[in-house]
Amino acid sequence: MKIVFSIGGSILAPEKVDTAYVKKLSQLLTRLSLKHEVAVVVGGGRPARDAIRKVRKRGASWAVCDHIGILATRNNARALAKALGGKSNRKIPESISEAAGLCGGRILVMGGTEPGHSTDAVAALLGDWIKADLFINASNVDAVYDRNPKKHRNARPLRKISVGKIEKLLQSEGFNAGEYPLLDPTALKVIKRTKLKTIILDGRDLTNILAAAEGKPFNGTVITP
């Protein structure tokens, strides 16, 4: 099975790169790679948001802000690749096509690619390119809720939700550099057109990630076409 992960920067680099988490994640990915083809796209986290904030104050365009964020994601990707040692690619690819050419052997690790695409979108596009069987979005969000849980105490987690319904839920959220909520429009579009099985779960719970990847009961949300 081909599995593409999107690992949120919020858990991989909440302040700076969390080396303890990266070590545990690398062990999980190594275990999965014994039976599956594994690719990982990592987000920028706090380092990306801080860098974007600085250049934005200086009047940088959103495209430039996106580029600054992408550089941060690639630095995070290098940290994960280093933890994986010889089990992953040494050079961090800078495009989807370059990344796809590295899949099939070692664990693929990469960050962002170009302005306008969140790392979730990059992961979804990579999943489309390599015809992945499963896309796991692992961040600091444990599930998709029927309403924003940060604003509504009575928000309920959903076991399943269609792409159409999740698009409606996210219509009021921000999509500028460093503001991507849950999944951005590009990622959702790719998931819809490819019917790529997608799971949203808490990336801090590695045991739960393993269960989801192996088709066992897990806590989270399945996004359906």
| Residues 218, 119: Cα–Cα separation, whole Å | 24
Tokens representing 150 are: 């940060």
163-170, long-range: CB < 8 A, 24+ apart? 163/188, 163/191, 163/192, 163/223, 163/224, 163/225, 164/192, 166/223, 169/144
pLDDT (tens, 9 = 90+) of the chain, 225 residues, equals 999 999 999 999 999 999 999 999 999 999 999 999 999 999 999 999 989 999 988 998 988 998 999 999 999 999 999 999 999 998 999 999 999 988 888 999 999 999 888 899 999 999 999 999 999 999 988 998 887 777 778 889 899 999 988 888 777 654 444 444 578 888 999 999 999 999 999 999 999 999 999 999 999 999 987
pTM of the entire structure? 0.92
| Residues 84, 44: Cα–Cα separation, whole Å | 19
End-to-end CA distance of the chain: 20
Sign of CA dihedral 213, 106, 128, 166: positive
Distances in Å between the alpha carbon of 95 and those of 70, 122, 178, 198?
A: 11, 9, 20, 22
Domain edges within the chain: 2-224
List helix spans (H) across the chain: 9-12, 19-33, 45-57, 62-84, 96-100, 119-129, 163-169, 185-194, 206-213
The CATH T-level fold of domain 2-224 is Carbamate kinase (3.40.1160)
